[in-house]
Structure formats: structure tokens, C-alpha cells
Amino acid sequence: MGKTSDLTAVQKTIIDTLHKEGKTQKVIAKEAGCSQSSVSKHINRQVKGRKKCGRKKCTSSRDNRTLQRIVTTNPFKNVGEIHKEWTAAGVSASRTTTRRLMKDMGFRCRIPCVKPLLNMKQRKKRLAWAKDKKDWTDAEWSKVMFSDESKFCISFGNQGPRVWRKSGEAQNPRCMRSSVKFPPSVMVWGAMSSAGVGPLCFLRSRVNAAVYQEVLEHFMLPAADQLYGDADFTFQQDLAPAHSAKTTSTWFKDHGIPVLDWPANSPDLNPIENLWGIVKRRMQYARPNNAEELKTTIRATWALITPEQCHRLIESMPRRITAVIEAKGAPTKY
């Protein structure tokens, strides 16, 4: 019984009680039925407040608070930059210790979510739109054909800077990066409904009103025939200049196709955005060598999308609208 770990709970209770009564360690050892050294070690541990032995920590609580403040203030810095700033503050710790402490604090290195840039006027319009559509049923949403363009790159590894964040902070504005429009490499137009997906159109030039109307004529109309047949439907599009041009509005009127009113900068409301995400995740291990191979891979992956997947995404519209209302028009997790 020379080791403190050999002491039973009863023996430890006896030692604590007799020690408080002022008994000597020799008497306590005799009463507890253990060695005097075990009594001494147990009492010293209780006095010092130490539960177990081990290497002394190289950083203090103050140092750890400094590290947490650095990560919280600059979440887009990598470990090397954070470590350099931390040691510059007078802390002596290795880079490995820096990473370990960051993980102990709950920080994980993640790809930041992208949020659209919304001003107050746009938020109010989104909120008003959501309130107007909050009573729409799944049957009504199933009559909407959603459309959008998306950029595909030959390399999917370059996803930009990563961010240090804790669990549940994905939608924290501090941990998100703003999306901006930039010239695409390969742009694809697509459409979907609760019945499935339509044919893809690869855009070879900058999309103006004339080009967009060609897309509608040769790809949207065949998609409508494929997905709806002779049934009525409503077309959804965002507010890109080519979409909102007067000649485009005239095209829709001439073809008798109603267009769903849509708030600006609202990709989180469009379920086809999630569909693009599914396609890109399935393609993350593909390594096309050129644009033609990339197009072939996109077509093949797009063809694997099932009507059931599309139906589930369309069914999410009421939840998306509720989320916008609760966020008072701000961007949501969708």
C-alpha cells in the first residue's frame, strides 16, 4: 500500500477526517490501515489542490486568454501567423502547443461560408418577400422552375483562405467572407423543379440580354416541356442585368410565361444553389485536364441528380422563408 492510487475511497475519507481533527500522520496511517508515506502524499496533494502529477504547463491562464483574443480578432490567420503574434506578446510556446491550445479552446480550421452583401434596403425587401410567400404550400412551390448560373473550375482545391471558428459559429459574420462577382472560367446555366433537372447550357461568352434569350429559347423551353409537359409553371430567375432587361421581360410576355418576383442577392432562397453544391462535391476528386473534359464531367454528374433530391430541395422552401423572417431579412444558413 505504498502508492496513493492504492487507497480506497473509505481510507481517503478516514485520512481527511483525522487530519482535520489534528491527528498525526502515524496515528492516521494506523487507523486507515495504510503506510505513513501514503497518508503524507494524500494530505500534501489535498493541500496543494493537485489531483494528479504531470509536466507543468508552459503557459498561464493569462497567456491562454491572449491567444484566444488573437484568434477571435483575426480568425483568417494561419497557425504560423497566430503563433508569431502570440510569441511576440511575450509567450514562450512552440507552434505545436499553439495549435493544441487552439483546439482545446474549441477552434477548428474550416472553409468559411460565403454570405451575400446585403444593404438595409435589400434586407427589407427580402423580409417583405418572405412574408408575402410564407403561406405558399409545397404544391405551389412545385410549380416553380428555379434557374441559375454557376461557375465551375478545373481545379477544385483552391477554395480560398480558411477560418478558425468554434462549433456553431459557421454563420457568425466574423467567420464569413463576402461574395463578389468576378469573371468566370466556365459558366453553366441550369434549371430544376420538384420533378427533376433540365438540360445544361454552357455559356461561351458574357451573358447579355440577347444571349440570355437564346438560352431561354433553346434550353429553358425544352426543360419546361420535359419537367411540366402541358401544365402551367412559373419561372424563377435572379435580378442579373440580362434577366431584368426590358427585352427579356418582353420575351416572357410574348411566350406567356409568368416570372416569379425575386429579391436581390438571395442565393440562400434558391434551392438550385444547393444542387450546384451537390454537383461540385461529387466532382471534388475529378481531375479534368481541360475545359472540354470539365464539361463532360459536369454533364455526367448533373445526370445523376434524382427527382427525389430535387423534390426534397423544393420542400425546403417554407423553411427557407421562415429562416429569412426570423433573421429579419439577413442572410441565412441555406
Q: What is the pLDDT of residues 57-115, one digit of tens each?
A: 889 999 999 999 999 998 999 999 999 999 999 999 999 999 999 999 999 988 777 66
What DSSP designation does 173 have?
A: G
Per DSSP (E only), the strands in 222-277 are: 234-235
Q: Counting beta carbons within 10 angstroms of the beta carbon of residue 211, is it exposed (0 to 12), middle (13 to 18) or buried (19 or more)?
A: middle
The reported pLDDT for the residue numbered 115 is 66
Nine-digit cell string for 120? 438595409
Residue 125 has pLDDT above 50, yes or no: yes
Given a cut of 70, whether residue 156 has pLDDT beyond it is no
Share of the chain above pLDDT 70, in %: 90
Distance between CA atoms of residues 227 and 63, nearest Å: 61
pLDDT score, position 50: 54
Per-residue pLDDT tens digits for 294-310? 999 999 999 999 999 99
Query: What are the φ and ψ backbone dihedral angles of 217, each rounded to 5 degrees?
Result: -65, -45
3-state secondary structure of 62: helix
The whole-number pLDDT of residue 166 equals 84
d(C-alpha 204, C-alpha 200), whole Å: 13
- What is the pLDDT, as a whole number, of residue 1? 47
> Cell 442577392 appears where?
265
- Per the DSSP assignment, residues forming a β-bridge with 144 are 234
Asked whether the predicted pLDDT for residue 220 surpasses 70, the reply is: yes
Burial of 80: CB neighbours in 10 Å, binned 0-12, 13-18, 19+: exposed
Is the distance from CB of 154 to CB of 185 less than 8 angstroms? yes
What are the angstrom distances between the C-alpha of 125 and each of 261, 271, 316, 322?
11, 19, 21, 15
What pLDDT was estimated at residue 184?
Answer: 40
Q: What is the pLDDT of residue 244?
A: 95
pLDDT in the model for residue 54: 64
* Cell reading at 81: 501567423
Q: Tell me what the mean pLDDT of segment 6-31 comes to.
A: 88
180, pLDDT greater than 50? no
Total H helices, total E strands in the chain: 16, 9
